[in-house]
Amino acid sequence: MRLIFIPLLLLFAHSTLEAETSPKESIELSRSAINQANPLEPLIKGFEEVYCDTLYPGENITVQLWTNYSDKIYNGPNSEFVFLKDEEIVYRDSVYSFVQRFEFEDYNSDGVKDVLIQQYSDVRSNWTYNLYLIDTSLYVPEHIHEFSQIKNPHLNSTKDTITSYIISGDIYYKEFQLTQSKNIVQIGETIITGDPQ
C-alpha cells in the first residue's frame, strides 16, 4: 500500500507544482512581451493606464505611467510618462512618482483638463505634482517644471490662482498664478507660526 501511495503523492505534488508555476511563467512571459512591445524599460515593475475618452471626447487619448520601483527615495526619475493619441506615442517624459497617481484638472482655464502626476510626499505629507498642460488644438502635453515646487497645490474656487497649504512646523498658505507665458509666479503668502510654548 505504501509503495502505491508514494508514487501517487509524488505525481500529485508534481502536477500541483506545475499548476502553480504555470501562471507565474505566463505572467513573466506577458511582462516580457510588454517589455519587447514597449522598449521604455527592460524591467517594468508598475504600470498605470487611464483611457481619457470622457476627459477628451473623440480624441482617443490614453495616458500611461511605466514605473521601475528600484528606489523609493527621490533621487531622479523612476517612471516614464507616455501620452498616446490614436494608440500612437505623441509625448514621452521621464519623471519621479512616489505613488504612481494621475489627476486631471484644468489649471490654465482653457476648457481642457491638464494632467497631474503625483511626484513626491515629504515627511509631513506635503505632496508635489508634475503638471502637463494639454494643448487644446493638438492635444499634446507641455511639462511645467516650476509647478513641482508647489506643495499641496489646489485651484482656488474662482480657478484663477493656485493655492498651497504647507505644514512644516509653521503653517504656510501660499498663492500662485500660472501666467499666459506658462510661468509660475507667487503672488501671496501667509504664515501661521507654531505655538511658542
CB 148 within 8 A of CB 119: yes
> Can you tell me the mean pLDDT for 102-108?
93
Give the distance between the most distant pair of CA atoms in the chain: 87
For the whole model, what pTM was predicted? 0.72
Confidence band, pLDDT 50/70/90 cuts, at residue 167? confident
> Can you tell me the mean pLDDT for 75-91?
91
Confidence band, pLDDT 50/70/90 cuts, at residue 19? very low
Where is pLDDT greater, at 2 or 118? 118
> Can you tell me the mean pLDDT for 82-89?
94
Residue 177 lies in a domain: yes
Residue 19 lies in a domain: no
The residue count of the chain comes to 197
Residue 28 lies in a domain: no
Residues 116-143 pLDDT 10s: 999 987 767 788 999 999 998 888 999 9
Where is pLDDT greater, at 126 or 82? 82
Residue 80 lies in a domain: yes
The answer, yes or no, to whether residue 9 has pLDDT greater than 50, is: no
**Cα separation values, 142 from 101, 104, 134, 148, Å:** 18, 14, 6, 13
The answer, yes or no, to whether residue 114 has pLDDT greater than 90, is: yes
In angstroms, the CA 84 to CA 70 distance is 25
How far out from the chain centre does Cα 170 lie? 29
Q: What is the structure's pLDDT at 141?
A: 96
Residue 13 lies in a domain: no
Residue 62 lies in a domain: yes
In angstroms, the CA 20 to CA 191 distance is 58
Q: What is the structure's pLDDT at 73?
A: 64
In angstroms, the CA 122 to CA 125 distance is 5
The answer, yes or no, to whether residue 14 has pLDDT greater than 70, is: no
Residue 33 lies in a domain: no
In angstroms, the CA 73 to CA 171 distance is 25
Highest mean pLDDT among 3-7, 17-21, 31-35, 62-66: 62-66
Report the domain count for the chain: 1
Confidence band, pLDDT 50/70/90 cuts, at residue 71? low
The three-state DSSP-derived secondary structure of 41-104 is CCCCCEEEEEECCCCCCCCCEEEEEEECCCCCCCCCCCEEEEEEECCEEEEEEEECCCCCCEEE
Residue 29 lies in a domain: no
CB 156 within 8 A of CB 167: no
Q: Which domain holds residue 81?
A: 42-192
- At 149, which CATH number? 2.40.128
In angstroms, the CA 100 to CA 116 distance is 11
In angstroms, the CA 165 to CA 153 distance is 7
> Can you tell me the mean pLDDT for 186-196?
80
Residues 20-53 pLDDT 10s: 433 333 333 333 444 444 444 444 557 889 999 9
